[in-house]
Structure 1
Amino acid sequence: MNKLGHFRLRLKKQKNAKLQDPVSIDQGISGQEESVNLTSSLSEKLTVLRQTLGGSSDFIIREFVHPGENAAYAAICYIDGLVDQTQLNDLIIKIGQEDINGIMVKDPFRNVKEDLPARDTKLALTKSEVIQAILGGDSVVLIDGIKEAFTVSLPGGMRRAIEEPSSQTVIRGPKEGFTEDISTNISLLRRRIRSADLRFEDRFIGSLTQTRVSVAYIQGIANPDVVKEVFARLGAIQTDSILESGYIEEFIQDVSFTPFPTVMNTERPDSVAGNLLEGLVAVLVDGTPFVLLLPVTFFKFFLSSEDYYQRYDISSFLRLIRLFSFISALLLPSIYIAVTTFQQEMIPTTLLISLAAQREGTPLPALLEALIMELTFEVIREAGVRMPRVVGPAISIVGALVLGQAAVQAGLVSAAMVIIVSFTAISSFVIPTFSMSAAARLVRFALMLLAGSFGLFGILAGIIPLFIHLVSLSSFGVPYFLPVAPLSMSNLKDVFIRVPWPFMKTRPAYISMQNKMRQPSAGKEGRKEK
């Protein structure tokens, strides 16, 4: 029997005898036992890992021995599918060619690290560090007689390629979008901001998922108080799982019970880079292409990254269109219900006669008509999203046309109501951010009920508390309705309209408290002389 066979036989006997070292074997990786140091015996370390991971089928242990005068037993542990097999085989060959015991005399970590063909090699001293490295996709090298373990980064497995974002499309601008791999997302930001001041700090959240969460900010531009508050709120999260950035958003937002989002999400690297340069903080979550941005204001949700790639006049016009569309999506059905039910005198006589003729054969009041049509459109919208991508848009369009036309011909709703609901639905799609569009959809139903009960007075009774609620909100200490309330004239140059780039010399003062200058003042003088 060769040396490897003798070693495996010894390991099997120890496993069957259930050798349990109270210092090295524990239950789980939580509590005080996280700091348990590893032992020098390779067989005991492998026994610990097998017991901790429960004999999972994807947990692979590859044992080998280096023949020669200084024979040494070693093993590499990893999760199948998370490492690159080619690099792993090269690593095993490299270690097998070395006289392991001979190079472990003075500084074992230094010697092994120099010989390992990997980009990122770290030293692990405790059991929890080894378990976290294995579950995080690293390979762990264990050597008999050496207490330390060596974690080697050999990233592999299937990953989605960088593609154009599906939820935020633009005509002019970069076509790259974030992926589910956080390392790829960080590299996309590094390519756009090549500054030593760009910082990424990681946290692992979720007792079971151990999801990697990275906080990105530019030192010297981002508000230090906001950065500290972000880390404080992330540290206060106590949960067993984080599967998407929406989990983080709900945990760290200022107010939970509000329809309006106080944290923005995007899957565009150029949008995140532009906001980082303005002093915002980004939160990247492994496993999702959507990155969180904070702090944000109400008007930030109506800006698009395309606004900064086109001429200022076109960008300003499109922003006004978005604001008008938001108001239409919020108030248009309510105003129609109010004026046709209570305030008919506000409608021109010719239009009033036309509307009265259309509604003559409809058995339902305007409020029920609007509610039925709005709910029907919401069902069609949801069906279009859930159905296969090939037939989803076709079903949505055909369903809306057929149902709308059939409802008018059957006399259930009036043609004017179909027009109002259709324009309202189209207006909701103009809003760049889906979360703000969803907020408008929710508030719209409440305003419709108030309009059907009290007319225009009901709409006013709903809008006034709505504005009070918006003004009272904040996002990480920044008032939500800035720079309108409180009014800041110097910060209005990039809200309703966008002024030309040469005049946008300063960053938003309510976000970036440190380096407020975006362009040096000498630029204006240079242009005049030229």
Structure 2
Amino acid sequence: MGRSFKTRSTRKLINPVPEEEKVIVSSPLDLEERVTFIQEGLFLTDDLTIRDMIFNERRMKLFFINSIVDVKSIQTNVIKPMQEHPFGNISNIVNGATINETVDLQVALDALVDGSCLLMGENEECMQMILAPKDQSAQRIEPMNEKVIRGSHQGFGEKVAENVQFIRERITNRKVTVKYSHVGETTKTKYALVSISTLTDPAIIKTIEDRISSIEADSIQSPGYFEEFLEDSSFSPFPQFLNTERPDRVVANLMEGRMALFMEGSPTALIFPVSFFSFFQTAEDYNTRPFIASFLRLIRLVSFITTLCLPAFYIAVISYNYEVIPVEIIFSIKSSLEYLPFPPLIEAAIMQFTLELLREAAIRLPNPVAQTIGVVGGLVIGTAVVEANFVSNTMVIVVAITAISSFVIPSNELSTSLRILGFPLMVLAALFGFFGIVIGLMFTFIHMSKLKSLGHYYLYPLAPLDVKAWRDTFIRVPIWLMKERPKDLKAIYKWKTTDPRRWKKNEQSD
């Protein structure tokens, strides 16, 4: 990170750094050396602003992280008074702000990420830390698509700087690195890449930066554009980047060693690289008891199989494999199929297509009307098609269970992909029965095994196999047992905790 500095302390410091982390450097420090130390200490993040000033006929440097401080307040209470009164004592000139002083650059770095601006002068050992946090009273709305019962109810906005602020509020650490840039030859849309420099594998950072730099397009207007330009397999039905509007979910993934991308004009963050099982995890999993979270996660994984296979399974049973059904149920199903003019495949296709129409209509209409469409459409159409002998009662039940299962999956994009994949699986079931389903699933899982997200295997920790990572895949063990970060991310520091529940060992020894 460059040179480490320590200066002689003449007053009580705020949050002093441990002695072993300090290296003595003769005083006074060169101003440019201290500027370099601050920049490298914040890992050259792009949201660090440095202003040059003259005060008491000496050069001054003003530092602040613009995503977490009130820039207008700094301009009004710090910069403007110092320009109007270029001589005097800073404490008497700066208006309405809390000022602390330090001679320790480590303390100064911590103050910057806590929402202070830092003022240092040439040939002057003491530095002023002026508290100027950004107002947090702005309205923050919970995401409509990712609601939770227990947990944070905060969602992202449509301004990049505001979204970066949400992340920095949750991770008050100098290691959070933000890189701003623009994309699109005509639109010049602003975006931000966020990572934790001491965790994220440099290979991931280089890969994403290289892919973004290779984009040549007139317009990139939303994260969806980025996905198609950056993902490994654009023609795959499976999403390879995770979309979320929740700051807590982004923070959790950053702490695993992943990266996040924000774009101006969109409340959605892209997280990468991810695995298939990342789409079945929710923020609420880590706010409930492990047994409850594990049970719900298993339900989501079962819903994946149900959404993909249930209509095809029904078609295969009706068309070829009656013997797998108990005799008592066969007569009930047979009686409902007696007067139907369509084969099971057409019957299933009609209902699935009708369900997609209702779903799309409910999304496009205002909420009060959408609820009416859902109730009326489900009851009226479902009853009418059965009474008209277009579909059977059993098929209505099958399609209803399939629809409910698809809504259980937390990722809307993955849920839609699974419903689409169900159509070719139904065709294979109609042609070859169970053998067709097996063939379809085999090709699906072969594709998923080969699929990658930024070069990382999509089916990890199944392929490649990592049994230890199952602690947070199919189930969720207590958080204190999740000692390591996922191996496939190759995080610089792999340990989450090295001595969990030390208090228990101490109590037993007593």
**Cα contact 1:358–1:415 (8 A) shared by 2:** yes
The question of 1:349 aligning with 2:304 is answered no
| Structure-2 separation of matches of 1:165 and 1:388 | 17
Give the Å deviation of 1:231: 0.7
Aligned to 1:528: 505
Give the Å deviation of 1:525: 4.3
TM-score, normalisation: structure 1: 0.70
The question of 1:163 aligning with 2:149 is answered no
From 481, 491, 494, give the equivalent of 1:513: 491
Aligned to 1:361: 339
From 209, 217, 227, give the equivalent of 1:239: 217
| Structure-2 separation of matches of 1:203 and 1:254 | 22
Deviations 1:419-471 (A, max 9, x none): 00011001000000111101101100110111111111111111111110000
**Cα contact 2:244–2:268 (8 A) shared by 1:** yes
From 277, 283, 292, give the equivalent of 1:305: 283
| Structure-2 separation of matches of 1:403 and 1:525 | 61
Give the Å deviation of 1:168: 0.7
Q: Helix, strand or coil for the counterpart of 1:487?
A: coil
Q: Helix, strand or coil for the counterpart of 1:202?
A: strand
Give the Å deviation of 1:389: 1.9
Aligned to 1:138: none
Give the Å deviation of 1:512: 3.8
Q: Helix, strand or coil for the counterpart of 1:214?
A: strand
| Structure-2 separation of matches of 1:501 and 1:463 | 34
The question of 1:411 aligning with 2:389 is answered yes
The question of 1:314 aligning with 2:292 is answered yes
From 441, 445, 453, give the equivalent of 2:431: 453
Deviations 1:386-415 (A, max 9, x none): 111221122112111110001111111110
From 166, 171, 187, give the equivalent of 2:165: 187
Aligned to 1:444: 422
The question of 1:204 aligning with 2:182 is answered yes
**Higher mean C-alpha deviation, range 416-425 or range 499-508:** 499-508
What amino acid is aligned across from residue 529 of structure 1 in structure 2?
A: N
Give the Å deviation of 1:524: 4.2
| Structure-1 separation of matches of 2:243 and 2:365 | 24
Give the Å deviation of 1:220: 1.3
Give the Å deviation of 1:161: 3.7
How many equivalent pairs are there? 385
Aligned to 2:311: 333
| Structure-2 separation of matches of 1:219 and 1:526 | 31
1:426-445, aligned counterparts within 5 Å?
A: 426-445=404-423
Aligned to 2:37: none
| Structure-1 separation of matches of 2:218 and 2:154 | 32
Percent identity at matched positions?
43
**Cα contact 2:176–2:197 (8 A) shared by 1:** yes
Q: Helix, strand or coil for the counterpart of 2:464?
A: coil
| Structure-2 separation of matches of 1:509 and 1:449 | 39
Q: Helix, strand or coil for the counterpart of 2:489?
A: coil
**Cα contact 1:278–1:512 (8 A) shared by 2:** no
1:384-395, aligned counterparts within 5 Å?
A: 384-395=362-373
Deviations 1:107-129 (A, max 9, x none): xxxxxxxx9x9xxxxxxxxxxxx
| Structure-2 separation of matches of 1:527 and 1:191 | 31
What amino acid is aligned across from residue 505 of structure 2 in structure 1?
A: K
**Cα contact 2:200–2:491 (8 A) shared by 1:** yes
| Structure-2 separation of matches of 1:498 and 1:389 | 35
Give the Å deviation of 1:347: 1.2
What amino acid is aligned across from residue 209 of structure 2 in structure 1?
A: F
Q: Helix, strand or coil for the counterpart of 2:243?
A: strand
Structure 2's unaligned 5+ residue stretches are: 1-71, 87-92, 96-137
| Structure-1 separation of matches of 2:313 and 2:258 | 38
| Structure-1 separation of matches of 2:212 and 2:407 | 32
| Structure-1 separation of matches of 2:503 and 2:193 | 38
Aligned to 2:198: 220
Aligned to 2:460: 482
Which of 1 and 2 has greater Rg?
1
Give the Å deviation of 1:215: 0.5
Deviations 1:57-101 (A, max 9, x none): xxxxxxxxxxxxxxxxxxxxxxxxxxxxx99xx99xx89x98xxx
Aligned to 1:282: 260
Q: Helix, strand or coil for the counterpart of 2:178?
A: strand
Give the Å deviation of 1:493: 0.7
Give the Å deviation of 1:513: 2.7
Structure 1 stretches of 4+ with a deviation exceeding 6 A read none
| Structure-2 separation of matches of 1:512 and 1:187 | 27
Q: Helix, strand or coil for the counterpart of 2:493?
A: coil
What amino acid is aligned across from residue 397 of structure 2 in structure 1?
A: I
| Structure-2 separation of matches of 1:319 and 1:524 | 25
Give the Å deviation of 1:529: 2.4
| Structure-1 separation of matches of 2:404 and 2:464 | 32
1:419-430, aligned counterparts within 5 Å?
A: 419-430=397-408
Structure 1's unaligned 5+ residue stretches are: 1-85, 104-114, 118-159
Give the Å deviation of 1:357: 0.6
The question of 1:400 aligning with 2:378 is answered yes
What amino acid is aligned across from residue 279 of structure 2 in structure 1?
A: F
What amino acid is aligned across from residue 281 of structure 2 in structure 1?
A: L
| Structure-2 separation of matches of 1:184 and 1:463 | 43
Give the Å deviation of 1:501: 1.3
Aligned to 1:142: none
Q: Helix, strand or coil for the counterpart of 1:506?
A: coil
**Cα contact 1:280–1:512 (8 A) shared by 2:** no
What amino acid is aligned across from residue 406 of structure 1 in structure 2?
A: A
**Cα contact 2:256–2:491 (8 A) shared by 1:** no
| Structure-2 separation of matches of 1:210 and 1:186 | 19
The question of 1:502 aligning with 2:480 is answered yes
| Structure-1 separation of matches of 2:354 and 2:419 | 13
**Cα contact 1:161–1:179 (8 A) shared by 2:** no
What amino acid is aligned across from residue 485 of structure 1 in structure 2?
A: A
| Structure-2 separation of matches of 1:307 and 1:516 | 22
Deviations 1:27-63 (A, max 9, x none): xxxxxxxxxxxxxxxxxxxxxxxxxxxxxxxxxxxxx
Aligned to 2:451: 473
What amino acid is aligned across from residue 362 of structure 1 in structure 2?
A: L
What amino acid is aligned across from residue 358 of structure 1 in structure 2?
A: S
1:109-148, aligned counterparts within 5 Å?
A: none
1:244-283, aligned counterparts within 5 Å?
A: 244-283=222-261
1:22-101, aligned counterparts within 5 Å?
A: none
Q: Helix, strand or coil for the counterpart of 1:292?
A: strand
| Structure-1 separation of matches of 2:312 and 2:321 | 12
| Structure-1 separation of matches of 2:199 and 2:372 | 47
**Cα contact 1:337–1:448 (8 A) shared by 2:** yes
Give the Å deviation of 1:475: 0.7
- Give the RMSD, CA atoms, in angstroms: 2.4
Deviations 1:103-160 (A, max 9, x none): 9xxxxxxxxxxx9x9xxxxxxxxxxxxxxxxxxxxxxxxxxxxxxxxxxxxxxxxxx9
Q: Helix, strand or coil for the counterpart of 2:442?
A: helix
Q: Helix, strand or coil for the counterpart of 1:391?
A: helix
The question of 1:177 aligning with 2:151 is answered no
TM-score, normalisation: structure 2: 0.72
| Structure-1 separation of matches of 2:253 and 2:226 | 19
